[in-house]
Amino acid sequence: MNDRAQSGNNLDPWFHHYAERAAGLRASEVRALFAVASRPEVVSLAGGMPFVSALPRDLIQGAMDDVMRTEGPVALQYGSGQGVPKLREQILEVMALEGIRANADDVVVTTGSQHALELVSKLFLDPGDIVISEGPSYVTAMVIFRSYQADIDHVPMDEHGLIPEALREHIARLKAAGRTIKFLYTIPSFHNPAGVTLSWERRVEILQIARDNDILVLEDNPYGLLYFDQPAPDAMRSVEEDGVIYLGTFSKTLAPGFRTGWALAPHAIREKLVLANEAAVLSPSSFSQLVISKYLETADWKGQIDTFRGVYRERKEAMLSALGEYLPELTWTNPNGGFYVWLTLPEPLDSKAMLPRAVKELVAYTPGTAFYGDGGGHQNIRLSFCYPTPEQIRLGIRRLSNVLRGELELLDTFAGTGSLTSVRNSTRFSLPPTDLN
């Protein structure tokens, strides 16, 4: 065996050659069970996949044909590291729906908004830096921040979103400990995974807290236009230009397969984002950008977003109805938009430990531990209603109720913890529920 192999381990001969930051790259909570959970007989309430079948194929096919007929050589060529100018102008129209007024020069097109998260992290994070985020928060953002060896400090939420007073306390504690806070990462509208929305009053207050403490705000807004009964408050970027980087995407309002998102950043940061974008991918896909641009130009894209709203509203209502019927003892959030319901379990249960049994019973979910960087979330489950049909959702919740009752009966048999009904009043919530049952 050569020296290089000897320096590794029995599974990976290059183990000791990786950079330290590679240790932050970890599989998600459900990755190991993905092959099983993706079987057709399993009802998956785990993934946040948009229901792209609600998008008429002829709209996209027409845009593709038009692009290839009129701009084929450009669409198939390298492009700008900042993105197609016409699409950046059209992105301003999209953001205007949430109160944002901006200049196309400050928009950087990325390979999905998750890529923008990666670029911002690459630009700002040094090992040991702090990222403040809601607790819970988006699972892949946690992976990205950890991959750059940053520590994540979770600030609690309630039914109105991130709690400003708690944010002040966390900032004071971190500063007293000599820690460097690089930015606040927040999903203010129809939060992933909690489903709650940050109130307008709190948006303004949190921006002032960030200004007072010289903290950059990273506003991630994939779901903002997917409201049900009423729009979310205007984006935080609508009232703060210099201290906010705003992330948007076409993955939820069009289709994720295009892998096209954007960052709207203060001018100096924009310059570095373009350089980082060019270093990472040279240029985002010209073809995807031109197809989306043509779609925005020729289709009733606002009407299509309305169609998506109706689809997701129906599925959310199906989920809440099924939860009320099969698991009335539990509590959950009632989102007014987006994709997710955040379920709180009785204290004896562990959502991560329970997942293999759930998959065996042909239902999948995402355990709450995936959404914390500090090991929290064992008492929570994220349920996604965006992709399954209302009938599948109902079936999945019924199967989940059987799993929960089976787990509690097992615990009662061996530990005397009591039935589902008897533990209801002793449940501690990591996120206060909204409009329960």
For range 414-426, the mean pLDDT? 54
Q: What is the mean pLDDT of residues 3-11?
A: 54
For residues 143 and 29, the answer to whether their CB atoms sit within 8 Å is: no
Q: Which of 279, 298, 317 is the last residue of a domain?
A: 298
Same domain, 181 and 95: yes
Based on the fold, state whether residues 233 and 107 are members of the same structural domain. Answer: yes
Q: What is the pLDDT of residues 284-311, one digit of tens each?
A: 999 999 999 999 999 999 999 999 999 9
Query: Both 328 and 293 in a single domain?
Result: no
Packing angle of the helix pair 164-176, 200-212 (nearest 10 deg) = 20
The last residue of a domain, from among 250, 282, 298 = 298
Residue 12 confidence (pLDDT): 84
Predicted local distance difference test score (pLDDT) of residue 34: 60
Does 106 lie in the same domain as 150?
A: yes
DSSP 324-359: HHH-TTSEE---SBSSEEEEE--TT--HHHHHHHHH
**Rg of the chain on CA atoms, in Å:** 22
Q: Are residues 133 and 279 in the same domain?
A: yes
Q: Name the token pair of 220.
A: 């991630």
Q: CA-CA-CA-CA torsion for 402, 405, 407, 408, nearest 10 degrees?
A: 180
Q: Are residues 390 and 261 in the same domain?
A: no
Q: How far is CA 95 from the centre of its chain?
A: 18
Peptide bond into 136 cis (omega under 30): yes
- Residue 420 inside a domain? The answer is no
| Domain of residue 384, residue span | 19-48+304-413
> Among the listed ranges 88-102, 362-376, 388-402, which one has the minimum average pLDDT value?
362-376
Domain membership flag for residue 425: no
Q: Between residues 373 and 272, which one has the greater pLDDT? A: 272
The pLDDT value given to residue 426? 44
What is d(CA 359, CA 53) in angstroms, rounded to the nearest whole number?
25
Q: What pLDDT, in 10s, does the model give residues 152-176?
A: 999 999 999 999 999 999 999 999 9
Residue 433's pLDDT is what? 40
Tell me what pLDDT residue 166 has: 98
Better-scored residue on pLDDT, 414 or 254: 254
Tell me if 2 is assigned to some domain. Answer: no
Q: Which of 23-32, 225-234, 247-256, 388-397 has the lowest mean pLDDT?
A: 23-32
Residue whose tokens read 């593709």: 64
Q: Above 70 in pLDDT, residue 432?
A: no
- The answer on pLDDT for 13 being more than 70 is yes
- Chain-centroid distance of CA 41 in Å reads 26
Judge whether 371 and 379 are in contact, CB under 8 Å: no
Mean pLDDT score of the chain: 90
> What distances in angstroms separate CA 31 from CA 192, 362, 366, 370, 418, one per listed residue?
18, 16, 10, 11, 32
Query: What percentage of the chain has pLDDT greater than the value 70?
Result: 89
Identify the band that residue 375 occupies on the pLDDT scale cut at 50, 70 and 90.
Answer: confident
Rounded mean pLDDT, 36-59: 88
The tens digit of pLDDT for each residue in 120-160 reads 999 999 999 999 999 999 999 999 999 999 999 999 999 99
- Give the model's confidence band at 25: pLDDT under 50 very low, under 70 low, under 90 confident, else very high: confident
Same domain, 179 and 247: yes
Convert the pLDDT of each residue in 211-267 to its tens digit.
999 999 999 999 999 999 999 999 999 999 999 999 999 999 999 999 999 999 999
The 10s digit of each residue's pLDDT in 317-362 is 999 999 999 999 999 999 999 999 999 998 889 999 999 899 999 9
Q: Are 153 and 132 in contact (CB under 8 A)?
A: yes
Query: Domain total for the chain?
Result: 2
Least confident of 23-37, 101-115, 294-308, 392-406: 23-37
In this structure, the answer to whether residues 230 and 321 fall within a common structural domain is no
Distance, in Å, from the CA atom of 281 to the CA atom of 417, rounded to the nearest integer, reads 54
Domain termination residue (choose one: 247, 282, 298): 298
Give every CB contact of residue 290 below 8 A, 6+ residues apart in sequence: 67, 71, 74, 75, 84, 87
Here the CATH number for the domain that contains residue 155 is 3.40.640.10
Q: For residue 412, name the pLDDT band (cuts at 50, 70, 90).
A: confident
Residue written as token pair 């303004």: 204
Considering the domain architecture, whether residues 273 and 310 belong to the same structural domain is answered as: no
Q: What is the pLDDT of residue 429?
A: 36
Identify the pLDDT of residue 421.
52
Residues 217 and 69 in one domain: yes
**pTM of the prediction?**
0.90
